[in-house]
Every structure is written in C-alpha cells, then in structure tokens.
Structure 1
Amino acid sequence: MTVDGTSSGRTFDGVGAISGGGGNTRLLYDYPATQRDQVLDYLFKPGYGANLQILKVEIGGDTNSTNGAEASHQHTRGTVNCDAGYQWWLMEQAKARNPGIKILGMPWGAPGWIGNGTFHSQDMIDYYVSWLNCAKQHNLTVDYLGGWNEKDYVASWYVSLKSALRANGYSSVKLVGGDNWGDNAWKIATDMKNNNALYDAVDIAGGHYTCGGISAMTTCSSTSDAQTLGKPIWASENGSQDAETGAAPVARALNRGYLDAKTTAYINWPIVASIYQNLDFETVGLVNANQPWSGNYRVGRTAWVIAQTTQFTSPGWKYLDTAGGYLAGNRVNGSYVSYAAPDKSAWSTVLETTQATEAQTVNLKVAGGLPGGTLRVWSTDLSQPGKDTPSMVRGADLTATNGTYTLTLQPGRVYTVTTTSGQLPGTVTSPQRSQLALPYSDTFAGYSAGREAKYFATMNGAFESASCAGGRTGQCLRQMAQVQPIKWTHENSTQPYTIMGELGWSNYTVSSDVLLEKSGSAAEILGRVGTQGRNNGGLNAYHLRLSDTGAWSVLKTSWTTNNTWIWTTLASGTVSAPGTNTWHKLSLGFQGSTITAKIDGNTVGTVTDNSFGGGLAGLGTAGYYPVQYSNLSITPGTIPDLSGTYKIVSVRSSKALDASGGGTANGTPIIQWTDTGSTNQQWRLARNSAGYYSITGVAGNKALDIPFATTSPNTQFQLWTPTGQPNQQWQIAPADNGNFTIESRLNAYNVAIDANSTADGAGIVQWPTTGATNQQWKLVKIN
C-alpha cells in the first residue's frame, strides 16, 4: 500500500449520529451532572470517545417517531417556545465540547396545524424558518437541513424551502435531499439530474441504510446517477444496531460506504440508547444510558470503532483513492481507507479485519508530499466480545525500514495508522445500577415553562410544565398538542401519553390530580406499563380513564405481533361529572392480580387481572386536547420476598434452567433441559439489601454468572464461585400472567433462551428486553 498525497479522491464530510427519531436521548437529560458530562464527553469531546463530527437532531413534531415524541417548538400556530424539549441543550453541549461539529436538523413528523395536516406546505417551510430562528437564539449555527424523514418528497417544495432560506438570511444552510431507503434511497439523485431547479435547491443527496438494514453491512451501494451527480452523497442514516454487536458492521460500513458507494459521510441512528427498556431498540446506539437515578451507563464498542475514524480525521480532509480498497483484494480479509489533510500536513489510514480469519501483513509506503517519520497505531479489538474492555488502545509505533512500514493485522480488529497525535481515550466508568425506590412523588411545580417532568418520557403528544389552572398557583404538567400531529409511524391508537419508572415495579399505587380544560376530553393514569410494540404499535398497560361527563373505565391495552393496539374494558361506570377547570384525583392500585381504581378517594372499581405483573407508571389523555396534572404519587404495596429454593422453568419451552451435565465446576455452561428433578436444576434465591437476588445452584453452591462480566448480548451464562458482584446479581420482576423476568444488574439484559429454542441443551444467554416468552420464567418453589 502506498499512501500518496497526489491521489484523487472525494472530500470527507464526517461521521455523525442522530438524536431523534425519536426520544432516544430523553433520559440522558435527567442524569446526575457528573455522569451526564461523562457521557457527553464520550460522544463529543475531541480525542476522547466517539468524537462525533456531525450531530443530526430531530425537529420535534409532538408525534411518536420510533421510541418517543420529540417536543415541537410551536405546538400551536404562532406560539413559539424556543426552549421546548432537550435537543437545544444537546446541541449546545456538543458545540461546547467541539465548536467545529456540524449540526443537521430534520423532522420525522409535525404538529397537526401545519398545512391542515399536510407536511409539504408553506406552513412547514415557515416552521423550518422559525426553528432556525430558535437555533439563533441559542447561538447555534445550523449547517444542514433535511426534508421529511423516509417519506416521499415533493421536488417543488424543496425548491420553495431553498428560496425561503435565502430570503430569510439562511443561504449558508445546505439542504440534504431524499433521505429514503430501499429502492428509493437514491431516487433523489436521478431526479436532481433531471430537474435543474431541484439540483439547484438540494446540496447533498442522502440515502438511508445503503449498506443494508440491521445487517452485517458487508457491502454498500449507490447508483450511477448518485456517483456522477457532481454533489456529495451521504449515508445520511445507518446503523440501528446494538451498541456492542453492531460495532463490526459499523466498522465495515464506515470504510465500505466510500469504497463501494462513494458516500462521504456516515450518520448513525441513534446517538444513544437513553430510553426505557420496554421500548424497541433499547440497546441501540453508541452509549446505553437508561438509569438516570443511578447514573449507570455503558460505552459500547460502536463508539470506539467510530473513534477509529473520527479521532484521526476532520471534515474537509480528502479521501486518497489509491490508498483504499480490500486487503489482498478480498472482502473477507477486510478493508482500508485513507484520508489526508487539505494541506497534506497529516494523514490517517483506517483498516478493518472484522471478518478475517488469520493474521495479515501490510507493507506501507508514503509519497506525494505527505509526512513520514514515526507513525502511531491505534486499535479496537472486536475479536472476543466480553473478554476485553471495550476501548481504543495505542499500540507500538511504526518506523520505516528502507522507506517501508510493516504492520501485522490481527483478525477481528479495527486499526488506524496516523501521523496525528493528542488522542487520550476516556477511561471513566459509571456507578452500578440501582432500583428506583418507592415511594416517588413530583408536584411538577418546580420546573421552568416548557420542560418535561423528571424521568418522564413522552410517547405521543407533548407533556410540558405550564401555569396551573383551576385556582392553583405555580406550574403543572400539561398536554400541549391540540391537534392530531402529522404522523411518522402507523399506529392505530395515537392518543398522547408519557411514562416513567421501572419495569421491576409490581405492587404499587399511582395517583395524580387531573384537570380537564375542554368539554369532550378525558384524562388517564397508567400503571404496569410494559412492552411497547415497535414505533408505538401497541402497549401492555392498565389505564384508568375519567371524562368530563363523569364516565370512567379501567382499560387494558396490549399489542399484537403486527403492532396493533388492542383495547379491553375491564370495568366502567359513572361518577358525578367533573366538568372542566376543576381538580380531581385519580388513583390506580395494584396488589398481585387485584387492581383498584379510585376517583377523589372513593373506590369506583376493583377488578382481577394478571395479564401484566409489573411495569412503569404513566399519564395520558384519550385524545389531543389540553389536560393538566399535579401531585404525582407512586407508593409501594407489599413486595414479596422470593428468597427460597426453586426450579426455574421457561414459559417458552417448559424446560428447566440446568447446569449442563450436572456439572458444578467453575465455567459449567447453563442450558435448558427437560425437568428431571435433579439438584442441578434447583436454584437458591437470596435477596440483598439493594433488592437484587443471587441465584445459586443447589448442587455445588456456585452462582449464576455472566462470564467476564461481559456487556455483549448472546453470551451464555455459567456457574462460578460466588463473588457478590453485579454480574451475579439479578432483578426478578413479575411479568405477564404470573410469570417472571430475570434481569442482570450488570447490564440490564434478560435471562433468555438462545434463538427462542425449545430443544434440550439450548443455551441460556443474556439478551436485551423483548417481552417474549423465551425471556419469561415460572418459579416453582421447592422449599
């Protein structure tokens, strides 16, 4: 390989990630300041962690856009709040750490008043301009704007948007067009070639998942029209993969996106997994941060493979085409891409061997005015997930012999050879996970206007602090979206709601004061909120609903595999009509299978249902209208102590948790096996003061253990000498129909049957929360 500064090559535009699409950064905002700053450093601080060069944020629309709803800055026409939501805060934090980071804004949905429900309208163009005006108030320079995420575009609307940007002083803002996937990924490039006005309006053609969806991303693609467009083409959304197991695919996409498709920017969705575990994609991103009360977070290997490019390059550098390709011409061996500074003062080559099976030797020369001398080598090891601490480490420097540098590449790694210096990868670790203790309360009185309440994550609508009505002073929480938004998702029930808490909560009472502002409205409180279907396609939860007429109901919602909401009425009746502008207290209590509904302290209904054994709490409305909330309270019921000796039996297979072969030695793998009654299928549960359990085999007094305390999904459990460490501590929580889930304190993964198998001998592994029966267990008590 010769790294030649005279090589041709396109301009590198950067590597970034997306906050939005939606709600994936929500919980990070509520983290303790120390840990929040650490996570932000890992994302944005130069030379420290992922060192992101582009931050793409959702322009909020009050509608679910995957894992939540991002707040609009203009819930109703003409009423602008430039402090709504947390994306302004995130952009400010990114800029404070890296002033050179590029900002891209893009909507997934929009408030329903826009264009009377029509996205491609003058209202939406005006909405963009008002959002840019808000950015200016925050001293933020926006570099790029995108159109409607993954929806068909209207060419004339892009032209009108560009004209409006020029007329309003935003001529420097570049438009990214298309932003679709599959067969439509590069339609924008063809249309730009055939439409001069569109070509003038759109500065960059963006395609999504151009290296495949949630896949190995071994091959990337674009079209001839895209590659000969004469303008940059970007992989403007990619990823959607677990922070650990997605690292190797992302490493490939970073290199191969340019080699195969000539895309000059890569933007990962999402930036962090800072969402509750009942939501889809709950471990997807660069950092997992879903416990703001404990401050626990995990930096994934994906952050480090991105760092292998971003810490050693800058937007504006040039790709060196003659120093890029596939090792020995074979994709399996790996790929390499080289970059040089415009003035040739520095260069870097990134090599990945993520699919290689043996060591390879690279002989490297430098030419074309690029510096030589001593070269630095950094690498990230992906070959043994869980057996290494995820990070990027510096290796031995390279010096030339007769003008040639020699580097041996091991399989399963990402390497960077560079002339740059100053990198100092972060090594800070987070606190241990802990349970959010009950009782919990919040008056909602102490927030500045337009803020979401602590720990609450809005799924639809907009729940923000606002001045109380009904004679109360101070602030209350208010549902602000007044019209059904222009949706991005396709759920059949779109009512607003917001959730908070722990999946491990089981027996508790949630209550809140509510005020209905308009006739025809209804307020809800939610409890035992569990799994949500993808893109808000259904929800396991119980609801207590009260309308202004006095009609009340206890409702159960669930979802089907095709992501459809199912509503079941468990009880209903009427009380004196609360009317509007008066405060009333709703209360929903759970103790075992008994559910008790109260209104203004009076029991109105008691039902028996064991469909859902535990979950979060929430607040909601039955439609898009204003409702206010105050004095939230969540108080514990009787929490059973499960200490004792049990068989642990899979709901999926009816087979028992088993120490393989009756083994008792350290390292004995854990499997499922037909119930034999043997002691290698008996487990002693003991609860500690923090509320977590140890699970110890009766046969040999060895603990259920996560090998090497790994953070990698699909790792099989083993027996090991008890240590009391988090990789041997478990949260055992009621699930559906009287069953239980078993969650690791270390990493919040669930105990699951590998590949959903029902066969004897199938491995018992850790896996992110899905709510499926291969993650649910019956505890059959022995003594």
Structure 2
Amino acid sequence: MWTGSPSAHAAPTTTVTIDGTQPGRTFDGAGAISGGGGNSRLLADYPEPQRSELLDYLFKPGYGASLQLLKVEIGGDTNSTDGAEPSHMHTRGTVDCDSGYQWWIAEQAKVRNPDIKIAGLAWGAPGWIGNGKFWSQDTIDYYMSWFDCAKKHDLTIDYIGGWNERDYDAGWYKQLKSTLVAKGYGAKVVAADSSGWGLADAIKGDPELGKAIDILGTHYPCGYLTDYKSCPSSDSAQALGKPLWSSENGSQDTDSGAPAVARALNRDYIDGKMTAFFNWPVIAALYPNLAYATAGMSVAQQPWSGHYTIGRTTWVLAHTTQFTRPGWRYIDSAGGYLGGDRANGSYVTLKSTNNSDYSTVIETVDATADQTATFTVKGGLSTGTVRVWSTDLMSSNDAAHFVHDQDVTPSNGTYSLTLKPGHVYTVTTTSGQGKGNAKAPAAAALKLPYADDFDEPAATKSPKYFSDMNGAFETTACGGGRAGTCLRQMAPATPIRWTDEPFNAPYSIMGDRSWANYTVTADALFDEQGSVELLGRVGQQAKNNNGLRAYHLRLDDDGRWAILKSDTSWTFTTLASGKTDAPGLDTWRRLAFRLEGSQLTAFLDGKEIGSANDSSLSTGLAGIGLTGYQTQQFDNFQLTPGTPAAPRLGPVPSALEGKCLDAAKGSSDNGTPAQIWDCNGTRAQQWWWGDGTLRLGGATGKCVDVTRTETANGTPVELWDCNGGQNQQWISQSDGTLVSEQSGRCLDVPRLNTENGTQLVIWDCNGGANQRWTMP
C-alpha cells in the first residue's frame, strides 16, 4: 500500500470499483491545435537539436505530451488570432502544396507517432472563394484540393471541420460529406466547432444532416479562460449516440493554466461524456508581443538562441496520453468526483482494448487536505502491480513533474492511495512511460547587424524569423528583371476574415523586442498601385490583431511618404509626411527607416526624404507591410545597429508617490525580494540600467529576476546572479512600464499596495500607476 505524508485533518475517503465489464464510451484521444493562428510559426526556424527536442516533447510517445491528435489550420491568408496561416491556393486554380508550415508539422508528428490522427479546420479563406462567401461550393472544392495536397505529403486526414467558431450551414455540411464520399476520402466530419450544443437539436429534426455529421465538436465547454470546473454537454447531444468532443479548449498559460486543463481533461467526460480533447494551441512558438505568447505545451520564442521552456501543461496531458490509447473505453462507474464533492477533485478510468490493462487519472487541483482513495479491481482487468505517477502542479520545480513515485501491489485486487492536494496522478498497469531530459540553451538577444537576401532557403517558404500577421509573405522568383529569390505578398485580394480588426492590411514582423536604436532597410518593388511599409519598434499587439504599437515608414507608388505611429486600437498618428519622386511600378527602390532615440528618419535610395521626432516607442521588433492586398515584393532586408544606450545608475521611483524599487533589507543574496519602499537614496535603491538588466549597485551587481523563470501573473520578482536569461531582461516602454522580455508581462506592485516591503510581481500590462517606473 502506498501512502503519502499524514494530514492534520480527517482525510476525505473515496471507494472505487474498477469493473472491466461495466460500460463506457470509446476514448478518441487527447491532442492539440497548430493554427488559429501563427502560434507554431517559429518552431520550424529553430536550430537542431532544439527543434527535434521540441517536436519530441510534443509528439514522441513515452517522452512528453505524447499527443494523440493534431488539428492543423487550413490556412486562409488572414489573421486567425496571433498571426496568419498561408493558403495553399492564393488564387483560383493555382495550388501550391508546399505553402506554409502545417504540412511540415504534421509530417514531423507522424514520424514520431505513426498512429497520431490528423484533423483539419479553416479559420478563414482566400478572397476569391464564393465571392466572399465561405459556405459555398468553392470552399468544398478548396477543401478537396487541400486533401489532395495532404496525399502528396503522404498524410491521411482523419477528421475535417467547417468554419471555426462560425456556427454551421446544414446544406454545406451535407454537400461536404457527399463530396468526401465521392472522392474516396474517409475523413469523419466534425461540427460545428462553435460554442454550445445547438447542432444536436438541429440534427434531431434533420436526419440527413445527422448522416453528414459524424462527430459533434464544441469549443470551451467548460467556459472560456475560466477555471474549467464544470464541463457539461446537453441531454440532446448525448442522446444522439455520436461521439462528443471538446474540439477546442485551453487558451491558458502553459504553467498557470495547467490546473484548469487538468480539470477539463477529466471533467469533459464526467460532466459531458466528451471523448476527445484538443488544447489550443499546441505550442507558443511566436513572438512575446502577441496576445497568447505563453499558451500551449511549451514556449519557444527564440529560434536564434534555441532557448525554450517546457510547460506544466505538457505533463498534465502526459498523465492521460502516455497511459491510454484512442480506442480504449471509459468505465463510467469508475469515474466521478472524489468523496462525491467537486472540490476534492475528479477521477476517470479507461480500459485497454486487451480488456486487461487500465489507467486511472486523478486530479486534486482544488483539494485542501490529503485524502484517501481505495480501489477494487474486478471484471477481468489485471489485479497485478500498478505504477503510480504524479505531478505537483503547485511546484515550479521540474523534478516534481511527471514522476514515477512507486509501484503498488494490490491485495486481493484492492489497494489504497493517499492523494495530496494540487496534484495529478495516474495509476496504471501499463509500462513504457518516460520523461524527456533534453535541456535548452540559455536565452539570448538576436544580435545586430542582421540581413536576409531571401536567396538561402529557409525551413518553409516563409523566410527565417518572419511571422505574418495578415496576408502571406512567401519567397518566390524576383520580379522587375532581378535574378534570384525575393519576398512577395501572395494574397491578391482581401480574404474571408476570421478576425474583425479595423486595419487588416498584410504585414510581417521579426526580431527581438529589446531592440532600441537601429535602421531597417529593404528593397521594394511595386507590382501594382499601392503602398509599402517598413516597421520599427514593434511592440504589443492587441488581441486578434486589433491594434499594434509601432512606427511605420510608408511609401506610395506615386511618391507620397509618411512616418506614422499606430497604437493598440489601430489609431494612426501622422508624425511627418511629404512627397518624393514616384517609384512607379516594376522598379526596385531602396527604402530605409532609421530609429535613433526620438529621431525617426526616412531614406529612399540612400537620400534622406524626411524625419520626425517622437519618443512614444522606445524598443521593439522590425517588420515589413502593405496598406492593402497587393502583391508587392521585398528583397535585401537588413537591420543595422544604432547607438547603444549608455548605462546609468540611480534610483527607480514608482508612479506610486514616494515609493522606489528596493532590495529587501539591502541584501544582495540570491532570492532577496525586489520590493517597494519609501525613497531614501540608500544603496538598496541604486540600480544600474544599461543592457536590458536592472542590477543592484552597479554593472557587477545582482539582477532583478522573475522567480524560477515563471511566466504567470503574480510570479514574484527577486534578485539573482545575472545569467543572461530572458527572465532577467526588461524592456522600458515609453509609458513607464517595464516589460519582462520572457513573458511580456509588466513589473507590478500587487493591488496598488503602498505598504513598505510589498514584493513586486509580474502582471498583465495595464499602464496603471503600480506598473510605471522612472528609469535612472
């Protein structure tokens, strides 16, 4: 018998009979979503061996998340959350089966797990489809060309959906099903990939629709960005007898969201009889200025350094995926709530197709005391040794995650466990589980100068490090009589959109958020009338691309130019404008944008054409863009460094009156809390600021550090030996906020507490007085 440490209170008790003869629904798998959108973009650009390590942590059985399902976006050249996925068919009749990176990800998943099931779903579509109407025959034909591309990549599509979170069109789904059958594609149709279970009621009154829909999939059945404590379906959905899926869930921080995902994985079935779970997204391989920069199994934001972190959500999924297989069956009578109370936690049991092995997954996320569970095994299931694995979700120590604790030998088929609060457990008769041991290199800034002439092939048709936010910037043969490869915006018309941002023009970003003074330069060619842009100091993007903090240098084909500033509601402010000689069409011109302190200067063919002075934005990424869906081209992209900011030493006052950043008790020991205190000018309040770090007392002092490289709201901030980690890099914004390079969250005085000794944390940036600081 295995027991944990004793509890000071009477432990709740649960008695469970695991009877292999009892019924339950068939388990379809647990997986994740690559798409919706751009969240996987930087993964392909990672160097080896880190790229393979990340892929192993996602897909390799018995290693990490061991995903059993992968849903990929059918790209539509339009923003679908944190970026745009390129279409395989930008124009009618022209198919490019090598466009984008989703085929590559699906292939890599299959290499590691040949049994993984692949699903497809569209968030948007190219503008030529259906005269702007998604629910059209054009879209079905478009889907069939996508299936044909899958075949060329030796991939089988197992499941297919309609239009993400846009409800359904009954006639369209009927036509989709008949077309799949006629074409010989055996994919099962999933619908409606929206919220709620209204489709079940429609199917009751429309038998033909019922024949077209194989699986009912809903999004966020436990609520959106909640604690996922209750996950119901509907009586009418369950009565249909079709598989019910949580076809999108998650959207949570890879660490702080892991408890919610642990609840949902069990409670989807207990409450709603859902037999598949898709976490959105699969990985946070995207830039930290985007809204969901830390959601997924892992965080991988630095392909140039190879740095990444494996999140606790990986191990939450592993507690199901490493101990089950699609095709196993739930045992309904061996699942429920511990002690009959949701607050104690939940458990589900699944049995193997061999009718002998079984696994029980238990979560005690909300429990406040140790509790006991006693299990009796019967009905043909193995009464042999069970293996106990656990993850302490309250610990940030990787050694406490996915641990093989002990083996237990039942006595007459019965055994007991003591379950600790805040844990996930799996008890299993299976073997073959494991935990990857690859370690990532330290984080490091992308150094300047940087250049890309687009002639050297990247991992995909997207050039290295570029992440499209709208449109599709892909490498192709140069126009204008130039030899070699250039970068062209491939979508010639406004797509059928998923997001509703007021400015939806194509643009692509790249680089390091800590960059301050630099010049971005590129050759540009106008294929048609319109504008091109160079972007500098690109900062925070609003959710679903509904705004962007950035500077823009804009040049029209008729010679009009402007330096503009945009904000997180897409309000543009013109800082300077004028007119130069017209570039015209089909002619290459050299455009440059220098950002040096508050001075912003525009150049055309090496000649200064204008300048502006503005200090609103101090650091950020670079990029290129257009103002509409034209097919303009770029080449010879370059970034050259400007003047480094001189280091400074002094106090860091808070906008909370009279308070300063302070090292607790004047200590420089590792782990010393960073706090606020009355401003007093002592050594505990002298901070060196020069390379993106805040160091106590001077250039050799201890660094202000986000504890244990955590990224969640409320993570404490302390002093630690400077080590170059992203959790020690801070970006000073023009509004006075200090943004953590790792998480994108701000240095924060919790709850506006002005009491001396209040320890600082990181929190979502909101510009409040408790997040504003005056740097030395």
Short-chain TM bin: over 0.9
* Equivalent residue runs for 1:741-752 within 5 Å: 741=738, 743=740, 747-748=742-743, 750-752=745-747
Structure 2 residue ranges without an equivalent (≥5): 1-15
What letter matches 2:143 in structure 1? Y
Match of 2:632 in 1: 627
Once the two structures are TM-superposed, the CA of residue 391 in structure 1 deviates from its matched residue by 2.8
Once the two structures are TM-superposed, the CA of residue 111 in structure 1 deviates from its matched residue by 0.5
1:125 correspondence with 2:135: no
Partners in 2 of 1:762 and 1:538 — Cα distance? 37
Alignment CA distance shift 1:622-1:449 (3 Å): farther
Once the two structures are TM-superposed, the CA of residue 60 in structure 1 deviates from its matched residue by 0.1
1:753 correspondence with 2:762: no
* Equivalent residue runs for 1:180-259 within 5 Å: 180-181=194-195, 185-259=196-270
What letter matches 1:12 in structure 2? F
1:680 correspondence with 2:677: no
Once the two structures are TM-superposed, the CA of residue 779 in structure 1 deviates from its matched residue by 4.2
Once the two structures are TM-superposed, the CA of residue 780 in structure 1 deviates from its matched residue by 4.5
* Equivalent residue runs for 1:656-735 within 5 Å: 656-660=660-664, 667-685=671-689, 691=691, 693=693, 695-696=695-696, 703-708=703-708, 710=710, 712-719=712-719, 723-726=721-724, 730-735=728-733
What letter matches 2:565 in structure 1? K
What letter matches 1:693 in structure 2? T
1:615 correspondence with 2:620: yes
What letter matches 2:634 in structure 1? Y
1:438 correspondence with 2:448: yes
* Equivalent residue runs for 1:465-614 within 5 Å: 465-518=475-528, 520-559=529-568, 564-614=569-619
Query: 1:117 touches 1:485 (CA, 8 Å); kept in 2?
Result: yes
Among 187, 198, 218, which residue is 1:173 paired with?
187
1:146 correspondence with 2:161: yes
Partners in 2 of 1:605 and 1:764 — Cα distance? 47
Alignment CA distance shift 1:439-1:487 (3 Å): same
1:34 correspondence with 2:49: yes
Alignment CA distance shift 1:129-1:227 (3 Å): same
Query: 1:353 touches 1:414 (CA, 8 Å); kept in 2?
Result: yes
Query: 1:398 touches 1:407 (CA, 8 Å); kept in 2?
Result: no
Match of 2:343 in 1: 332
Q: Secondary structure at the match of 1:146?
A: strand
Once the two structures are TM-superposed, the CA of residue 449 in structure 1 deviates from its matched residue by 11
1:394 correspondence with 2:399: no
Once the two structures are TM-superposed, the CA of residue 555 in structure 1 deviates from its matched residue by 1.3
Query: 2:375 touches 2:415 (CA, 8 Å); kept in 1?
Result: yes
Partners in 2 of 1:74 and 1:768 — Cα distance? 41
Once the two structures are TM-superposed, the CA of residue 10 in structure 1 deviates from its matched residue by 0.5
What letter matches 2:550 in structure 1? A
What letter matches 2:258 in structure 1? A
Structure 1 residue ranges without an equivalent (≥5): none
* Equivalent residue runs for 1:9-408 within 5 Å: 9-170=24-185, 172-181=186-195, 185-384=196-395, 386-389=396-399, 391-408=401-418
Partners in 2 of 1:498 and 1:763 — Cα distance? 41
Alignment CA distance shift 1:166-1:768 (3 Å): farther
Alignment CA distance shift 1:651-1:503 (3 Å): farther
* Equivalent residue runs for 1:411-422 within 5 Å: 411-422=421-432
Match of 2:4 in 1: none
Alignment CA distance shift 1:430-1:449 (3 Å): closer
- Deviation track 1:505-560 (CA, whole Å, cap 9, x = no partner) reads 01000010000011x2111111111111110001111111111111111111112x
Once the two structures are TM-superposed, the CA of residue 729 in structure 1 deviates from its matched residue by 6.9
Alignment CA distance shift 1:547-1:666 (3 Å): closer
Once the two structures are TM-superposed, the CA of residue 774 in structure 1 deviates from its matched residue by 6.5
Once the two structures are TM-superposed, the CA of residue 378 in structure 1 deviates from its matched residue by 0.7
What letter matches 2:500 in structure 1? H
Q: Secondary structure at the match of 2:729?
A: strand
What letter matches 2:729 in structure 1? Q
Query: 1:277 touches 1:769 (CA, 8 Å); kept in 2?
Result: no
What letter matches 1:347 in structure 2? Y
Once the two structures are TM-superposed, the CA of residue 649 in structure 1 deviates from its matched residue by 2.8
Query: 1:673 touches 1:761 (CA, 8 Å); kept in 2?
Result: yes
Once the two structures are TM-superposed, the CA of residue 683 in structure 1 deviates from its matched residue by 2.4
Taking structure 2 as the reference length, the TM-score comes to 0.94
Query: 2:517 touches 2:643 (CA, 8 Å); kept in 1?
Result: yes
Q: Secondary structure at the match of 1:175?
A: strand
Q: Which moved more, 1:663-672 or 1:18-27?
A: 663-672
Q: Secondary structure at the match of 1:6?
A: coil
Q: Secondary structure at the match of 2:408?
A: coil
Partners in 1 of 2:258 and 2:47 — Cα distance? 27
Alignment CA distance shift 1:604-1:18 (3 Å): same
1:767 correspondence with 2:755: no
- Deviation track 1:105-135 (CA, whole Å, cap 9, x = no partner) reads 0000000110010000000010110000000
Partners in 1 of 2:228 and 2:757 — Cα distance? 28
Q: Secondary structure at the match of 2:199?
A: helix
Q: Which moved more, 1:628-637 or 1:441-450?
A: 441-450
What letter matches 2:423 in structure 1? R
Query: 2:747 touches 2:763 (CA, 8 Å); kept in 1?
Result: no
Query: 2:752 touches 2:770 (CA, 8 Å); kept in 1?
Result: no
Alignment CA distance shift 1:758-1:412 (3 Å): closer
Q: Which moved more, 1:577-586 or 1:751-760?
A: 751-760
Once the two structures are TM-superposed, the CA of residue 749 in structure 1 deviates from its matched residue by 5.5
Once the two structures are TM-superposed, the CA of residue 712 in structure 1 deviates from its matched residue by 5.0
What letter matches 1:623 in structure 2? G
Once the two structures are TM-superposed, the CA of residue 663 in structure 1 deviates from its matched residue by 6.3
Partners in 2 of 1:417 and 1:589 — Cα distance? 60
Alignment CA distance shift 1:629-1:4 (3 Å): same
Once the two structures are TM-superposed, the CA of residue 377 in structure 1 deviates from its matched residue by 0.7
Once the two structures are TM-superposed, the CA of residue 242 in structure 1 deviates from its matched residue by 0.2
Once the two structures are TM-superposed, the CA of residue 718 in structure 1 deviates from its matched residue by 2.9
How much identity, in percent, do the aligned residues show? 51
Once the two structures are TM-superposed, the CA of residue 221 in structure 1 deviates from its matched residue by 1.3
Once the two structures are TM-superposed, the CA of residue 666 in structure 1 deviates from its matched residue by 5.9
Partners in 2 of 1:552 and 1:226 — Cα distance? 58
Query: 1:377 touches 1:397 (CA, 8 Å); kept in 2?
Result: yes
What letter matches 2:662 in structure 1? D
Alignment CA distance shift 1:765-1:132 (3 Å): farther
Alignment CA distance shift 1:637-1:676 (3 Å): same
What letter matches 2:292 in structure 1? F
- Deviation track 1:617-653 (CA, whole Å, cap 9, x = no partner) reads 11111100110000001000001132x4221233577
Query: 1:750 touches 1:775 (CA, 8 Å); kept in 2?
Result: no
Alignment CA distance shift 1:729-1:285 (3 Å): closer
Query: 2:101 touches 2:460 (CA, 8 Å); kept in 1?
Result: no
Taking structure 1 as the reference length, the TM-score comes to 0.93
How many equivalent residue pairs? 760
- Deviation track 1:376-422 (CA, whole Å, cap 9, x = no partner) reads 111111133x2454631101100122432121111111000001101
- Deviation track 1:327-378 (CA, whole Å, cap 9, x = no partner) reads 1111111110000012313110001111111111211111010112111111
